[in-house]
Structure 1
Amino acid sequence: MLSGQRPLDRHPLVVVTNREPYIDERVGQGIRTVQSAGGVVAALDPLLQEHGGYWVAWGSGSADFQAAPDGRRQVPPRNPRYTLCRVALSPEEVEGYYASYSNQGLWPLSHLLIERAHFSREAYGFYAAVNRKFAQAAARVAPRRAWVFSHDYQLALFPAALKRARPDLTIAHFWHIPWAPFTVFRLCPHYRALLEGLLGADVLGFQTGGDVFHFLNAVQRTFPEAVVDRELGVVTWNRHTTRVSAFPVSVDYAAIRELALSRRVSRMARGLRRQLAHADLQLVVAVDRADYTKGILHRLEALADFLERYPAWHRRFVLLQVVVPTRTEVDEYRDLFTEVLRRTRALNEEWGRDGWQPVVTIRRSLDRARLTALFRAADVALVSSLFDGMNLVAKEFVAAQVDRRGVLLVSESAGASEELTDAFPVNPLDPEGMAATLDEALRLPPAERAARLGRMQAYLSRHNVYTWLQDILDALEEASLNPSWLTTDAETSPSLIGESWTDS
């Protein structure tokens, strides 16, 4: 858990994300409340439960505003500890801000998939308007001199909009996905506005040092008048200072390890290992959303090459891939999921023999216990992202490997590869190379497997999700002690933020 949390007693915390931590859904005649999955929720929900505060997010649940007509919901429902403030979005706003501009524009561009990126002025209009909505909601609920921790590419305009409205707030914004080189980033028609929005933050976090480098380069190329200190990671522009740094996001190492050692997960893992031993198989696992950035088709191409070049492994391994449908409202994602299933079927038809199939596909998400059991039982985990800000699957696998049996193969273009240096690096665009690395991993002696995992586990135990959060809170504290606020008359402009914010 966190240490040194006392500043939160002086600086209430306001978390701002696109996705909400608790969702109210209609179930028959009633309402069911479910907690969202994901590392950010897992890290920040306990913090707000301990210290109180506010969480501003899009109210996306089918019964969100039935459960809380004014958008304010005390959570968790059974033991309320903080206030969830839901932002209502129309279907047109969801389409323009989220589906179109964020997921069909910024997402592919940031992952260097230029040919897939599509921008429109209409979608940007919705994106800007929704970012203002989030800023207005946060400005209304935030107590004076609160700390605000906002997240990701859906809210790039949010920091400056909030800073103009509430210069007393100290804002940290974390960009979870990669930051593209300037020659790619500038293809976004609104790149200047995005930079201006992010520079409203007092602390701006990225996953890797490479992301920080590219962001600072974008600022320097776009705003020649800005003062950019690359050594310190500080940008001074428009009478405001932004501290820019890498804060690699991580997992709750201790919690995953505890779950992996639990009676239920141990029983499931032993059962899976018995099945594998009976069939004399090594288990290779891959867990992804059906997103084109994850390199799933490239992985299947490498597997076909592996089966052709290394026939000694026939009937001696199985790839169990969990492919979770995502963003199914977008044609490209539906088409990708269909193509993954088609190629998997063709691969099994070509290479399967006597009841053995090289690939087994699970087409839905697994609950946390089953996923942890799968990771614990696996001999190899394969992360084949074309480009990834971090990829927490790699870290979850390492944490769950309490028996230190497995080998991690991780894409060189995933942020996790920079930290998990005892993993085997793979290039998703080199199928022959990935096939050769898989062969090497499957042949790796148990002692070397254990040694590699031991070193990575020691690293993750020291660099977990709580140290990630603590580093950002420390940066917020430093920024609040040395403020550099925008000059604005927003405090006397109630038309923007409402007249009652000072009473929070």
Structure 2
Amino acid sequence: MNADAEPSSKDEASGNYGDFDFIVVSNRLPVDRISGADGDTWRRSPGGLVTALAPVMGKADGAWVGWPGSPDEELEPFDHDNMHLKPVPLSTDEVELYYEGFSNTTLWPLYHDVIATPEFHRTWWDAYRTVNRRFADAAASVAAKGATVWVQDYQLQLVPQLLRQARPDLKIGFFNHIPFPPLEIFAQLPWRRNIIEGLLGADLIGFQRPSDASNFLRCVRRFAGYTIRQQQVNVTTEDGLSYVSRAEAFPISIDAAQIAELAQREDVIERSKQIRRELGNPDTVLLGVDRLDYTKGISHRLKAYGELLEDGRITVENAAMIQVASPSRERVEQYRLLREEVEGTVGRISGTYDTISNTALRYLHHSYPVEEMVALYLAADVMLVTALRDGMNLVAKEYVAARTGNTGTLVLSEFTGAADQLRQAVLVNPHDIDGLKAAILTAINMPAREASRRMRLMRRQVLQNDVERWSRNFLEALDQDQDRDQSQNQDPDREREQ
């Protein structure tokens, strides 16, 4: 395998191991900085990944490696709750080149079916390699002998191979939270083989959907020349190290119990009623919740909703829509242009159809705490998830988990990973505006009994397959893979048979 990078400063043979048996490596640390009069403090981030892995950290003597969120700052390692945190510094230039550049202007659009045009710059690639090396070295420095290291997401795709080179004793997993593109799209990437070989450093590579795993394995065969058998790749490195890397789907989920619990709290229920009153108590409330991102299909959704109002098939007196679009990557030009487009559409719809008493469309460019989000889920009769491409889309699962009375309907893009599990949703191709309009009307007019049947089945799926089960399934599979590799390495006859 071609490392395409200078040798690591970490020398595994020296026996200079760290102290932690379980390490998570992600672009960001699992804490947010809170500035106050008495100085800075840290608060655990609300994301599902943190929720899923915090218990594992407590049981397994865990450490988390990531960027603390501020450029040009070097922090010493520190402990928070039951986690040891290892900050990785990034300069202002590295944030621009590695994160905003290669990660989010090269890889993000490429992996989302080129909805926007990816840009390929060698300076961005060089920064990506440098930063991935820094993350790998940080992980190697805290990992005990034989530790498990779980690397997260597309910003760190070179880390598995770099860890493998530095510390062949480690058990390495990788999970890709976004889609993996078809071979014909991935082929555009000038550094396609470097990325493939970087990922193949992991014993287990997890994807959201079986199709993503299949896309990856096709790229492995084409661009790295390996033979694939039953989703397994027999890898041999330039220094003679042999091991098996496996690609498989592990669809991520949410903390369903937390969402369901909040949905039954009296203050949250009262807030949901207040939201409906503030909209003029329409017969139907429609809801969209997204990061303001071109992959989410917000413009398509607003176009369909505006045409339904124009056609008179819904009226502002009996329907209202809320669109939450939380800020996202506002320094990237494509996102600034998207915001202008969305806000222009919102202004036209509101200016045309709002009345003194009724709101056609309430647009909220904010992030909200989870309690407010659950209140919005309870207030909404119809949830609109119209992503053009999405690895999973956890908003769809959160809406389902919140509907404890088995009411409400979900309109769901077939291009989301969630569509594989939530098959009772009203599935739609968001590029088909007429089809999207018909799906919205189907959801609005669905008989209560049919809506309840569908929601009950979807809730069962979400509650049984929560984020804790996702992390447990992945880590158990990683353990099994490592045990299998060790037994094969100890049995030369079995290796010859393969």
Alignment TM-score, normalising by the size of structure 1? 0.88
Q: Is residue 16 of structure 2 the alignment partner of residue 16 of structure 1?
A: no
Q: How does 1:338-487 map to 2 (within 5 A)?
A: 338-483=340-485
Instruction: Show CA shifts across 1:282-338 (max 9, x none).
Output: 111100111111111111111122223343444211110101111111121122112
**1:92 CA drift (Å):** 1.3
Selected match of 1:233 from 231, 234, 238: 231
Tell me which residue corresponds to 1:32.
41
Kindly provide the CA deviation profile for residues 348-403 of structure 1, in whole angstroms up to 9, marking residues without a partner as x: 22233453232101110111001011112210000011100000000000000112
Distance in 2 (alpha carbons) for counterparts of 1:59 and 1:235: 35
Q: Does the residue aligned with 1:179 lie in a helix, a strand or coil?
A: coil
8 Å contact 2:196–2:224 — kept in the other structure? no
Residue of structure 1 equivalent to 2:186: 185
CA distance in 2, matches of 1:311, 1:174: 44
Secondary structure of 1:146's counterpart equals strand
For 1:12, what is the secondary structure of its paired residue?
strand
Superposition TM-score, scaled by structure 2 size: 0.89
Q: 1:124 to 1:484 in 2, by over 3 A?
A: farther
Matched, 1:248 2:251: yes
* Residues 439-461 of structure 1 deviation map (CA, whole Å, 9 limit, x = unaligned): 11101111111111100111112
Offset from partner CA, 1:84-111 (integer Å, 9 cap, x none):
0000111111111101000000000000
Count of aligned residue pairs for this structure pair? 465
CA shift, 1:137, in A, is 0.5
Pick aligned residue for 1:53 from 39, 58, 62: 62
SS of the equivalent of 2:144 reads coil
The 8 Å contact of residues 290 and 323 in structure 1, kept in 2 or not, is answered as yes
CA shift for structure 1 position 482: 2.4
| Residues 72, 90 of structure 2: 8 Å contact kept | no
Output the amino acid matched with 2:30. Answer: P
Do the aligned partners of residues 36 and 11 (structure 1) sit closer, same or farther apart at CA in structure 2, a change above 3 Å counting? closer
8 Å Cα contact 2:20-2:143 kept in structure 1: no
Matches of 1:176 and 1:309, distance apart in 2: 39
Moved more, 36-45 or 422-431: 36-45
User: Residue 71 of structure 2 contacts residue 91 of structure 2 at CA under 8 Å; is this kept in 1?
Assistant: no
Q: Deviations over 1:200-247 (max 9, x none)?
A: 0000000001101111111111123x1201xx3111122331111000
Instruction: Report the Cα offset of residue 60 of structure 1.
Output: 1.5
CA distance in 2, matches of 1:115, 1:391: 19
The one-letter code matched in structure 1 to 2:165 is: R
Aligned partners of 2:20 and 2:63: how far apart in 1? 12
**Do the aligned residues in 1 keep the contact of 2:73 with 2:90 (CA within 8 Å)?**
no
Alignment of 1:47-446 (within 5 A): 47-61=56-70, 65=74, 69-70=75-76, 72-76=77-81, 81-113=82-114, 115-224=116-225, 226-229=226-229, 232-238=230-236, 239-273=242-276, 279-446=281-448
1:18 match: secondary structure: strand
How far did 1:35 drift?
A: 2.3
Tell whether the 8 Å contact from 2:73 to 2:91 is kept in structure 1 after alignment: no
Contact 1:160 1:200 in 2 (8 A): yes
The aligned counterpart of 2:4 is none
What is the DSSP-based 3-state SS (H/G/I as helix, E as strand, rest coil) of the residue aligned with 1:54?
Answer: strand
Q: Which secondary structure state, in structure 1, belongs to the residue aligned with residue 423 of structure 2?
A: coil
**Offset at residue 466 of structure 1 (A):** 1.1
Partner Cα distance (2:51, 2:339) in 1: 28
